[in-house]
Structure 1
Amino acid sequence: MKPQLVKEIVGPSGKVLEPFKEQQVRRVISEDTSTREREILEGVVTNGSGRRAFLPGYRVAGKTGTAQKVANGAYIQGEYVASFIGFAPSNDPKLVILGVVDGVPFYGGAVAAPMVQSVMLDSLKYLGIKPDLNAPLTPSKPMPGLEFAPIKKAAAVPSVLGLPLAEADKVLTQAGFKVMTEGSGPNILDQIPTADSQVEAGSTVLLYLGGEAGAPTMGHWWEEVDEDIEAIQALQGRTPLTAP
């Protein structure tokens, strides 16, 4: 497809003066190749490095990215540009979302994928796109050796969702974690890694701050899709599943 920035030109009266139609230039890859690539990118989300972008009942495909930052001609240890790009529903795409986080000690699958996940879920619901009866409701077992280095000494991350920043900082510090914040406001709206995740002791926990009491957390987003997911499970004759 030829790149297109303008959909149409509209006059003061609201009449469309000049529409711009999509223009096909050439076929880049075959339909079979496109299907295979889509399946591979779905695998990144269901059992690969992008599992934190998984949405139960939706087909999501994407790819993580992690670039080590450079200063004075040398790589900076532990500082990355983390990214994830995803599209959904992957069998009939309506959304493509790219998330990039600069200067963090996290890989793309750890910090950018959950960010895209939350925006993707909210956007799918806004567009009225219902979960797919045939889409997986849980991610598969992760493939070994992808994205995350082996954990030398594991520790469970405490939940600090909804807490004031000072209290959340105290809880995490006492548990042996470092704290990094994003945004502004008095309360914790989201955290990465999520509560009860097994991570290396002494790791950094990223906290997203918000300025309004009762602002939505990832838990609230999951609750919003529970009804749709449970309806699908009822049709499939399956036991209801509680999303993370």
Structure 2
Amino acid sequence: MKRDDAKKLSDVALEELAAQLAAGKSEELTKFLNTMSSFHNYSFGNCLLIVQQMPTATRVAGFRAWQKLNRQVRQGEKGICILAPLIGKKKAEDGSSEAELLGFRGVTVFDVSQTDGEDLPDIHRIEGDPGEKLSRLHATAISLGITLSYEEDLGGADGVSQGGSIVLRSGLTSAAEFNTLAHELAHELLHRGEDRKTLSKTVKELEAESVAYVVSTAVGLRALAQSADYIHCHAGDSEQLAKSLQRIQKTASLLLEQLETVSLDSISEVA
């Protein structure tokens, strides 16, 4: 598949997703968010391409990359086309060279389910329990300058974002607390600037809960009924949906990266 064909496929996937949401159906968005949770380092366009061609994919790599992992792509398997950057070198005035993005090209990757060979290192998450990831999410909030505290009653809510601070309802299970904190962190990161005035409450909740869904799914949490309730709410505008998906992808990617790199030294600061 060529670059232009991949771009057309991505556009078609986005239009279909918008149409599904306009019809009140959330299955396609859920598939996309599940894909994003496995491929959070990929652009939202490549996530669309993966989910359009193989919605069950969990880990992809090129033909030779699988061989280096002592796995072989089975004969006859159809590859997944994604877009990869073309990087060249540009001469600076001082004679040095620096990397420059020249464009994109279509490349073929394969899912692990299309290969045979040696077992891979365990990349799956703890089912049903965020484990240490909850402490890491606490530390992430603190590293972003956001204070955390707990109260017994939040008027029926599990969490509240207050602009620089988040209050969580005490007594939540670790899974519910992780999902709620991810949701409120998304509000803090996405909806405290000018977007606070321009975005509707529905879009804000869609974005925050979609981020929470991606991050929670990535650490192994399941049965996120509240997420499903929020996710079906969208007007079906493909242009606005594309902007939201980009924002969701960047924010979820940031939080997932922080979960891997943040220091736990600050978690004692949680009130």
TM bucket normalised to smaller: under 0.3
| Structure with greater helix percent | 2
The alignment's TM-score, normalised by the length of structure 1, stands at 0.27
The alignment's TM-score, normalised by the length of structure 2, stands at 0.25
User: Whose RCO is larger (CA < 8 A, sep 6+)?
Assistant: 2
